[in-house]
């Protein structure tokens, strides 16, 4: 794994609001269907709630809200990607989970200057795939900025 990561990075891919995102697989703990979400009154709009995942309390973040995208229209059952950040468990609510992609680190490009500002805030670069763009999600920025947004 470590030998491989020198030139190839594995990404878990996820769709959020029609855009393909990639999360470094080393950061992803698990993928689960969020159930029995407890609402948190007075919390920021991007906090979807809290849930119990095998005895741990997970803070679930609505990625659509986080990225200022419109809420999902009915249908699709949301999924959550579990990530650990500063010793706390978080679940990122996404529309759809995709396959795991192995991409050479060298093909990662910096954010295009005209990348949507909402995406640029949480993006750690992009990969050009066949006919579409994979935005690499910077988990730290997603979670840290979230705290800032709430505090402000």
What is the contact surface with another protein in residues (CB under 8 A)? 36, 38-44, 47, 50-52, 55, 57, 59, 61, 86, 88, 90, 143, 146-147, 150-151
Among candidate residues 15, 125, 128, the one with its CA nearest the CA of residue 63:
15
Report in angstroms how near the CB of residue 104 gets to another protein at its nearest. 34
Report in angstroms how near the CB of residue 135 gets to another protein at its nearest. 22
With respect to another protein, which residue has the nearer C-beta, 37 or 103? Answer: 37
With respect to another protein, which residue has the nearer C-beta, 55 or 75? Answer: 55
Contact yes or no for 61/47 (Cβ under 8 A): yes
With respect to another protein, which residue has the nearer C-beta, 9 or 48? Answer: 48
Report in angstroms how near the CB of residue 61 gets to another protein at its nearest. 8
Report in angstroms how near the CB of residue 13 gets to another protein at its nearest. 25
Report in angstroms how near the CB of residue 85 gets to another protein at its nearest. 9
| Residue found by looking up tokens 């419109």 in the block | 70
With respect to another protein, which residue has the nearer C-beta, 56 or 128? Answer: 56
7, 55, 133 from 130: Cα distances, Å = 20, 41, 8
Find all residues with CB under 8 Å of 84, minimum gap 6, and list them. 27, 29, 90
With respect to another protein, which residue has the nearer C-beta, 20 or 143? Answer: 143
Among candidate residues 25, 63, 74, 55, the one with its CA nearest the CA of residue 143:
63
Q: By CB neighbour count within 10 A (0-12 exposed, 13-18 middle, 19+ buried), where does 14 fall?
A: buried
């Amino acid at each position: 794994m470590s030998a491989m990561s020198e030139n190839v990075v594995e990404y878990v891919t996820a769709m959020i609001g029609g855009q393909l995102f990639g999360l470094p697989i080393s950061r992803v703990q698990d993928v689960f269907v969020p159930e029995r979400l407890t609402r948190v009154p007075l919390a920021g709009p991007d906090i979807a709630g809290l849930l119990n995942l095998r005895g741990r309390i997970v803070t679930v973040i609505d990625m659509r809200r986080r990225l200022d995208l419109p809420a999902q229209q009915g249908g699709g059952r949301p999924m959550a990607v579990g990530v650990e950040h500063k010793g706390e468990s978080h679940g990122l609510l996404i529309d759809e989970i995709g396959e795991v992609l192995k991409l050479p680190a060298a093909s990662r490009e910096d954010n295009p200057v005209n990348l949507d500002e909402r995406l640029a805030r949480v993006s750690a670069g992009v990969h050009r795939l066949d006919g579409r763009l994979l935005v690499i999600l910077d988990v730290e920025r997603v979670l840290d900025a979230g705290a800032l947004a709430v505090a402000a």
